[in-house]
Amino acid sequence: MPADLSPIDKAKFVAAKRAVEFVESGMKLGLGTGSTAAWMVRCLAERIREEGLKVQGVPTSTRTAELAQQLGVPVVSLDEAKWLDLTIDGADEIDPMLNLIKGGGAALLQEKIVATASDQMIVIADAAKEVAQLGAFPLPVEVIPFGWQTTKALIEETLVSLDVLNRDVTLRMNGDAPLVTDEANYIIDLHLKRIGNPRQLAMVLNQIPGVVENGLFIDICDIVVIGHGDGRVQVRDINAGSTSDERIEFAPADNIFADSDD
Ligand SMILES: O=C(CO)[C@H](O)[C@H](O)COP(=O)(O)O
């Protein structure tokens, strides 16, 4: 492991490295977005270079598409791939049922479409992402720009009707302007502190006109790989009901880390 990585990056790296061991030649893969997913793309590129692994990747953002192309991971659109064997992605929060909050990187819409179009979803993360209950991380909701203030008011009304106590709702900004997603939408962040019933909230939010998608991933993730800065990983499989403690030993070429500032 390159000595100058921070413990958090080492944790993300070992999680990514372990998850990429699930990839087999011939697979069609969903490629997630974010700093942890970027390690996964690098580890995948390393296997392609060193083992001649043959895969096709469907990126979940322009950022990931650029990184994959830069590192020689073959990229196709979801329409070309149609259905995927496996998606590997990061998350902002993971609860004990492997339900997730995603969208911290504003890519939740493509991430959810891609993960849902996959036989299996593996989430990779450092241990700080594991929570007893979702909600400390602001829940991203992607909305269309047309009438976004009305949509925001409807979201607030919905939270009142659900008796949600903490319901600060903010438009995500990029400097002085609203942040614009890859699909040309806005993100509204719901600062809820805790989400009592994530399944209900996910369904109700998506009924609001103007809401495109929310960042709650319910019953989508199959396996979580949690990395630690000392090389330990835990692999939790919700379907098998199993958790294994492992250690990643590796000596990657340092140049696989030199590609981006993600
Ligand atoms: O959902 C996401 C992007 O929309 C990311 O997977 C999530 O924000 C985690 O990012 P990171 O690995 O950088 O902590």
What is the per-residue pLDDT for 249?
73
ipTM: 0.99
Instruction: Please give the distance, rounded to the nearest whole angstrom, from the Cα atom of residue 125 to the centre of ligand 1.
Output: 9
The class of domain 7-131+219-247 in CATH terms is: alpha beta
Percent of the chain with pLDDT over 70: 94
Fold of 139-214: Alpha-Beta Plaits (3.30.70)
Which residues are tagged catalytic? 111
In the chain, CATH 3.30.70.260 sits at 139-214
- What are the pLDDT digits (tens) for 26-54? 999 999 999 999 999 999 999 999 999 99
pLDDT at 61 over 70: yes
Q: Ligand 1: residues whose CB is within 6 Å?
A: 32-37, 89-92, 102-108, 111
Average pLDDT over residues 112-126: 98
Q: Is 85 assigned to a binding site?
A: no
Atom of ligand 1 nearest to the CA of 107: 4
| CATH 3.40.50.1360, the chain: domain bounds | 7-131+219-247
How far is residue 207 CA from its own chain's centroid?
23
The pTM (predicted TM-score) of the whole model is 0.95
Distance in angstroms (rounded) separating the CA atoms of residues 206 and 227: 32
Query: Is the per-residue pLDDT at 224 higher than 60?
Result: yes
